[in-house]
Structure 1
Amino acid sequence: MGEANLTCVKEFILLGFSDLPSLQGILFGIFLYIYINILFGNGLIIAITKFDAALQTPMYFFLGNFAFVEICYISVTLPRMLSDLWTQNKNISLLACAVQLCFFLVLLFTESLLLAVMAYDCYVAICKPLYYTLIMNHKVCVQLVVGSWITGVPMPIGQIFQVFSLPFCNSNILNHIFCDMPPLMKLVSGDISWNEVLMYADAVLFGFIPFLLILYSYIRIFITIQKLPSVVGRSKAFSTCSSHLMVVGLFFGSGIIAYLQPKTSYMAGREKMVSLFYTIITPMFNPLIYSLRNKDVIMAMKKLLSKWMGS
């Protein structure tokens, strides 16, 4: 009788912001404005790092690739959210949910690894300046970027396959703004202990380990900066990596809160807000952080914008 009463779902209902019916139009306008700003800001960074001769260095090569990942990352979730707000059709098939989650995790892991690569670049630039051009040559930079993309692919695909091989029964209500792993696991019927182990293993492998590598790089950087004889030299060295350090804090801080919070403190409303932070707010602020704190980027943007406006 228990098996007979078990009805397995073929699609989910993403609740999103359905608890705010009077604000659907306002939320659509806000998120559309944010999406356009993210596309424009990161697209501008890609353009200047590609075409400005003064920015043809490893640091800006990584920054351009990071901006491209940010555009892909935000495009996995935000267009679907805009569509749901506009049409009020919140249904999403299991296949569409699996594809969205797979791309989201791959890009999330790629971004984490790229941040570690950028920290390593800062470390070499400040701690080993005489060997910088030798260590961070173009071939090595390309290999590091490609490695960040390839390394982040196998684990999410395997985990998604395992999760969606399990039955989703009795409830198809996904109380979230997109298909994310923690709320999705709550709808799986049966034993999910192994899947939870894999989820935390992914968090350690692609979150905690890159974070430790970044932390180690910055400890070495700060030790080296403190040994510099002049105040001007210390200030210049620190400004080289301060923007990246701010982005790291935003990205890993929100990610840790979202994926490593204990089950007893789980709250759907709070998780939605945290998800908004690391999926939307962080990509929106990244171009501002890198441009406002970097004179070379500001000059390159001014030249590019004046060229576009002149033509």
Structure 2
Amino acid sequence: MRRAASLLSAVGATALLLTSCGTESAGVGASGARASVPPSRPQVQDPGKDGVRITSLTLTSPSPYPTPTRRVSVSADSLALDSGDAIASFEVTNEGTQTLTYSVVITFMSSDGGAVASQTTTVRNVGPGKIVRGTVRTGHLPPSAPRVTRAKVLKVTKVPANEAPAEPGACPASGIRVSADNGDAAMGLRVVGLHLDNCGKRNYSIEGYPLLELLDGNYKTVHGIKTLHGTSEITTGAGPDQQPRPVTLRPGQSAAAALVWRNTTESGTPVNVPYVRVRATTGASPVTLTLNLDLGTTGRLGVKPWSKAEQ
């Protein structure tokens, strides 16, 4: 009897050992859960651009092996990341003399240098000599996307903070939001639309043309460019010139205007205008837009008047 009991005890211990070993091996459990893959942090060597640089990159990828259900220790970084997601930490250093608002485009890349995803983030009110840190993430990537291994600062624009465009969906204290679209380009002809939204609670009336000031990279006035009322001297493809008419916008309504130019380059030095300070009308608060006008050597910029936008 003692021998039989010893044999049964040995068999039970062996079964227990096999069950324990199976918990750590690859295999499908009751819920088909996958193992947590700890995030990796590759070394970042980013020289940065215009005062913005990547400081760290956190990566994660889905596990290729399903595991049975068991308790797994998960770090805060793992919880912050979706499968295949990546987060880039960055810092903005304002080396200028005035408070600025930055728009930063960060590109996430694969090992061969190809772009996997790009994200734009806005960093507002960075004072002179100040450093502001933030993060931007790819968001969930499809399974077919290449694995992210690198990130870099692709583009930086910055404008005086008190003249920065309002955040999407936000309404300035004036009740008037000024913005620009991405524009259109064909055969050297450029057209950019200006938009004025009455996001306030009262009617807003305008008449005439947007008031423009062309600015260089240091926000100084660019001279030598003739601003034309109308666009017929530049092209007939932008429609006939219309005389300005009074426009009254009720809350929620919008108006539109347009800038038209050619980037023709002949003799002389080409002129590029990164920023345009826009006032909807005389006395209105200025908004500085990053439009990157490549005016070539033409010396002319056509402006269409404000007109009520179709609803």
TM-score, scaled relative to structure 1: 0.21
Higher RCO (CA-CA < 8 Å; seq separation 6+): 1
> Where is the helix percentage greater, Structure 1 or Structure 2?
1
> Where is the strand percentage greater, Structure 1 or Structure 2?
2
